[in-house]
Structure 1
Amino acid sequence: MKIAVLGAGAIGAYVGAALHRAGVEVHLIARGAHLAAMREHGVRVLSPRGDFTARPHATDSPSEVGEVDYVFLGLKAYSYASSGDLLAPLLGPGTAVIAAQNGIPWWYFHGMTGHPLEGQRIEAVDPGGSVTAVLPMERAIGCVVYCSTEIQAPGVIRHLEGTRFSIGEPDRSISPRCVALSEAMIAGGLKCPVEKDVREDIWIKLMGNVAFNPLSALTRATMVEICEHEDSRDLVAQMMAETLTIARAAGCDPQISIDKRIDGARRVGHHKTSMLQDLEAGKRLEIDAIIGAVVEIAELTRVPAPTLRHVYAAIDLLSRTSLVS
């Protein structure tokens, strides 16, 4: 098995190191000081489950790697459309692409045989079909990440919590390529269930992201601060309720309690969401996949979602003004 990790940042380098430890041929594609450190010293993982160092091949040139069996995408979803030149050398006739992204993926309605929206393109995450042109939907394997990592220093990954990477085919089949990938991930010390419908995991994780990410960026508050403020907690609950209604209208029925989801977020403590961290770092905000696509699906399914719409308008304005400030 040959795997390329395109965008070997905190999550990508951690997954690559785990797979390499399992004996998989792994190629990490990165840049800058992080790449230089991985080339010289390997990937050093610091984890409560045990520290280890792995030395997979690391490069900034996909053409040096060639065709692989799997590409693990560690890029932000908004980078997919512009990643064609990086992806092209890695893609053979049977190469699968694991999109480890937050929010709604570009392939969401692909393979939903019998659903009224089967094959529907979601403009927010596939504008003008630009992502599909780079990543044909038949290559896609869905992936929901329940793992928290950070780059502590170039080449050094701090694993904070979680090892679960749920994967699944858009057409709900249990495919040989998913089973083989799952076995390799498990051999590397990760959890990797093959889900019959990975969309349920997408919505369960999204319930938290759709509310806490934009609200934290708008307020600069941590997750526990949002949960312990009565009015903002009510706002989160309303956003989650609208999201569940949209999910069900889109053909998925996540089995999760809103109160349980909020309480789980509260227990995380004074954690800054990824969107707040990106805002503070002056980076582009990942709003299209996390909330824009949800609002678009609400329109497609004719589900009223006033709270999500209002918060989306606010975070979209912040995103636009923060980029030009």
Structure 2
Amino acid sequence: MRYIIIGSGAIGGSIGGRLHESGRSVVLVARGAHYEALRDNGLRLTVPTGTLILDVPVVARPQDVELRADDVLVLAVKTQDSVAALDAWAARPVTGGGTAGERLALVCAQNGVENERLALRRFREVYGVCVVLPSTHLNPGEVVAPCGPYTGALVLGRYGTGTDETARQISDDLEKANFLAPVATDVMRWKYGKLLGNLANVVEAVCGSASDAAAQDLVARSKAEGAAVLGAAGIAYASGAEITELRSGTVDPQPIAGEPTRGSSWQSLARGTGSIETDYLNGEIVLLGRKHGVPTPVNAALQHAARESVHLSREPGGLTAAELSRRIMESGTGRGRESSPWPG
């Protein structure tokens, strides 16, 4: 198998770099300054044992790689960028006939639960991954993955039901590349469990940290809403204890001097990407709450806060958790309504 990593930032760079290091065939896909740095200097992947300089092949566009029948496409972009990426790759021809959407496996190594549905509209063979892979990408050509002894836990499964040989082959390659990669018949249950954990991402991003009492209160309230919504929707999800057990002793933070690990939403604001994934994390809870009649005022307010931060080009920490909580209460959203706490 050859792995085409679509989106070579924190997650894609970690997966692609480790696969390349283990001897697997890999092509990274990147844009702009990140592409230029990877092309000119290789991938600088920092892990607890040191910094690896990896000369991984890199391309900037789908047209720059000739797809083969043994290729696996790994989608590692943020959800807001998925449709554009899927459309760009699905129609690409594959050597021997057919298109990528018809012939190639596509793996969604992404947070949230919407990507697999988007992919299945365009690709016949879709696999989900519950990504437990703390990593950071702030500078072109550089990725920091500070956990060990495994770089990350990647629970992999076919989207739908059951499993197959392709999932097992991908799992085997990931295991040889320093990942814990169990194959699950219920991968979306794991992804919904991870979704609840990711509801904290926006608090860290908007407030700069999720460690003080006010921030922790917002996180707890958002997760309580999420659990209530998933219960009302009849959606099974892995418990926090299951996810903790998965990574305990296997994917443990091993701090690297000068390289603090930040969440993906924090990184989006810090890099000024112009977008954030909150609509597909907290926004998923809001959507399901509206569908099933469960109030989600805290998640709705956090979603508004993320949009405001992007619109105003705020860096992380532009709004304190105490101020955010005050706005929520003054707007009435803290008492069950979803009116916006933001002007305009």
TM-score norm. by structure 1 comes to 0.76
1:102, distance to aligned residue in structure 2 (A) = 1.8
1:95, distance to aligned residue in structure 2 (A) = 0.9
RMSD value over aligned CA atoms? 3.1
Residue in 1 that maps onto 2:185? 196
1:256, distance to aligned residue in structure 2 (A) = 2.8
Residue in 1 that maps onto 2:112? 103
| Equivalent pair of 2:4/2:29 in contact (CA under 8 Å) | yes
Residue in 2 that maps onto 1:157? 143
Counterpart check, 1:240 vs 2:228:
no
Using the alignment, how far apart are the partners of 1:311 and 1:155 within structure 2? 31
1:286, distance to aligned residue in structure 2 (A) = 1.3
Counterpart check, 1:73 vs 2:80:
no
Using the alignment, how far apart are the partners of 2:305 and 2:226 within structure 1? 18
The one-letter amino acid paired with 2:114 is P
**CA displacement 1:37-91 (0-9 Å, x = unmatched):** 3334432322114543433321223223222421111211111122223553271
**CA displacement 1:198-236 (0-9 Å, x = unmatched):** 1232122222221x2232344x231222xxx1x443332
| Equivalent pair of 1:71/1:95 in contact (CA under 8 Å) | yes
Residue in 1 that maps onto 2:334? none
**Identity across the alignment (%):** 25
Structure 1 gap ranges (5+): 109-125
Using the alignment, how far apart are the partners of 2:10 and 2:202 within structure 1? 22
| Equivalent pair of 2:146/2:261 in contact (CA under 8 Å) | no
Using the alignment, how far apart are the partners of 1:75 and 1:295 within structure 2? 22
Using the alignment, how far apart are the partners of 2:182 and 2:309 within structure 1? 37
The one-letter amino acid paired with 1:99 is C
SS at 2:27's partner residue? strand
Residue in 2 that maps onto 1:273? 263
The one-letter amino acid paired with 2:77 is L
Residue in 2 that maps onto 1:224? 211
Structure 2 gap ranges (5+): 95-99, 315-344
SS at 2:26's partner residue? strand
Using the alignment, how far apart are the partners of 2:30 and 2:11 within structure 1? 12
Counterpart check, 1:252 vs 2:236:
yes
1:293, distance to aligned residue in structure 2 (A) = 1.8
Using the alignment, how far apart are the partners of 1:152 and 1:289 within structure 2? 22
**CA displacement 1:9-30 (0-9 Å, x = unmatched):** 2321221122123332211111
TM-score norm. by structure 2 comes to 0.73
1:141, distance to aligned residue in structure 2 (A) = 1.0
Using the alignment, how far apart are the partners of 1:257 and 1:158 within structure 2? 26
Residue 250 to residue 317, structure 1, CA distance change in 2 (3 Å)? farther
1:307, distance to aligned residue in structure 2 (A) = 3.0
| Equivalent pair of 1:47/1:159 in contact (CA under 8 Å) | yes
The one-letter amino acid paired with 2:267 is Q
Residue in 2 that maps onto 1:55? 55
Residue 38 to residue 316, structure 1, CA distance change in 2 (3 Å)? closer
**Residues 2-17 of structure 1: pairs in structure 2 closer than 5 A:** 2-17=2-17
1:180, distance to aligned residue in structure 2 (A) = 0.7
